[in-house]
Structure 1
């Protein structure tokens, strides 16, 4: 099974996690981040030393987190680890409006017709997208991507589609591309031409730049307020797809976008 490499980002750390600098909410967030990064369960005293918290405060907050399911306490070892409620909360944060679930029947039908895996991307800030949903193709050799993967906005086929929809000029595109790291960097002028082409066809294509041996076709979706909030990427292993099929999948993506725009968005 093929896999798309993940580009990982590092979360900014709190500059000072001492109890004198943080209120209770800040301490709870620091504890959750600590448990998320910990490689093994740890006791209260060890955690309080690492975070420079008073042991009594650390114990009190950890107990509350454990009672709510955000931390897990092992009675045998007296150690804490991250709880399952934190996982559920994180998953919910990927798609607060539950959009992927609403689209899933249409996306599943698209996958069965095109034999392409489909990624559902949500724009989370000015220059980032996150994979909020994924439907694998039925092919024996297929692409897998991890939910929660975050990428720069303008990378890959989805990036070209966003650049086209947001109306970036060639100079703006060149600036944005200079900030990115690719597996195989595209030629900047060619990327600009591909963005222009996307404005005409409604879909963009990445052939091996984001991930060698992988061809991706993508388009973007607007939310109920007309904002460019979502991207759809159809993904195939390069040896399984020809030029004519790329166009067919692209046209099918545009049709799907129009279908969704006139049905589920209108109903919300």
Structure 2
């Protein structure tokens, strides 16, 4: 098990299955703040962010598939997020980051409830601007899609019973440069939408891929739980069946090699 010491208030740990080298990269565990603070800046009320993630080393990537457990938590504030993301993070902070995130989240301030929602988001200017779900410009809902980003996920996992899972797939269509999003609840993913290539100026290929979870604690309130809320046990949340997608659209199967952070 990959062990990540997240410090104060973290109530859960993900058991994350990571993959063998492909197109130059592996997924590595990290609890670094750094660029994550661009994505989830602390609020004036003293917001604090915690991260449990794995990321690839810089290389060239064109897509990712993963299956993740879905959990529900009754919170009145803060935020819980689990997902996968692609971006072109650069060593020079003056170069704008382009990124797409997809997964599930509980975010009362945004959605007005404490339900678990399927979400997508993107940016092309290092998170200075961007949007969520159906509010996004140049959003193209796939023909016949019955899945709408931002809607609640009907069923969450029971920590003492059945696990509910979603499969997320992101990939770049070679012929158009558009980025396609697929989603499946306890089944194979179906096409949901795509982001037009013209939205981005640096996503012809991506340099980094990540998976994992983020929680945001606001003010003096306790941190929301991460994942299932049961760390280092057989009840811990999982992200499994991770695969990379090649430039020509082939899916490269993942292994279950795990690299422990020392």
Structure richer in helix, relative to its length: 1
Structure richer in strand, relative to its length: 2
- TM (norm. structure 1) is 0.28
- TM (norm. structure 2) is 0.28
Higher relative contact order, structure no. (Cα contacts within 8 Å, ≥ 6 residues apart)? 2
